[in-house]
Amino acid sequence: MRKNMQQLKKLAAFPTIHTKRLTLRQLTHEDAEQLYAYYANESVYRYLDWNGPESIEHSKQNIDRWNKGFEQGWIIRFAIVDNETNTVIGTIFLSDFHGKRAEIGFELSQYYWRRGIMSEAMREVLYLGFQQLHLQRIQAFVAEENVASRQLFNSFNFKEEGLLRQYETHSVTGECNDMLVYSLIQDAKG
């Protein structure tokens, strides 16, 4: 655990990142209703390992767990906020730190799909991971059927490394799913 904590200790505090259309910031209880609202759409959680929060109170519990996880050094999960509406429209995170490796994951309100929003957020989180946290490898586990996420990872030059059979167990259904492994290595050239 001590090694894992070292990566996030490099940050003085939870960062806030501003882009042209987005703000990436720490989640608060005030975001619970918006988090619950966009997760109510099955399309948002179709390829995830859970079905999202079951209530606004459950959203608050998850926010508390993720924020405590930042303090403990195992996750940094950003709210993705639309600057025009000041609405939480998704989250993006780095987690499971092991040495100079971490996992990236995300979800986004279906209303914002295919607008380049996740590319904008991912660019910033990858920069944070490689330039500020000094990671060497950022990896992702993606359902083979999740074509949009696979295309996004390919657009950032992540390499598909293979298929992990029956790798991920869904927390609600108990079903085991195959997952593709993608990775991006610091300073990788294509």
Q: What is the pLDDT of residue 170?
A: 57
Looking at the domain assignment, is residue 180 inside a domain?
no
Enter the tokens of residue 120: 């904008």
Q: Which position has the token pair 């990436």?
A: 24
Terminal CA-to-CA distance of the chain, rounded, Å?
33
In a domain, 9, yes or no: yes
> Letter for the amino acid at 85?
T
pLDDT in tens, 147-179: 999 999 999 999 999 988 876 665 556 677 788
Residue 67 covered by a domain: yes
**Amino acid present at 67:** N
Residues whose CB is less than 8 angstroms from the CB of residue 103 and which lie 6 or more positions away in sequence, other chains included: 94, 95, 96, 138, 139, 140, 141
Domain span at 130: 2-135
The pLDDT value recorded for residue 17 is 98
Average pLDDT for the chain: 88
157 vs 113, higher pLDDT: 157
| pTM reported for the whole predicted model | 0.90
Q: Give the pLDDT of residue 5.
A: 58
Write the CATH number for 55.
3.40.630.30
Are 81 and 89 contacting, i.e. CB atoms less than 8 angstroms apart?
A: yes
- Higher pLDDT: 111 or 177? It is 111
Degrees (nearest 5) of the Cα angle 47, 152, 70?
A: 70
For residue 48, is it within any domain?
Answer: yes
For residues 181 and 138, give the distance between their C-alpha atoms in angstroms, rounded to a whole number.
11
Distances (CA, A) of 61 to 81, 132, 162: 20, 29, 34
| Confidence (pLDDT) at 188 | 53
Indicate whether 82 pLDDT > 80. yes
Which residue carries 């929003």 as its tokens?
117
Domain count along the chain: 1
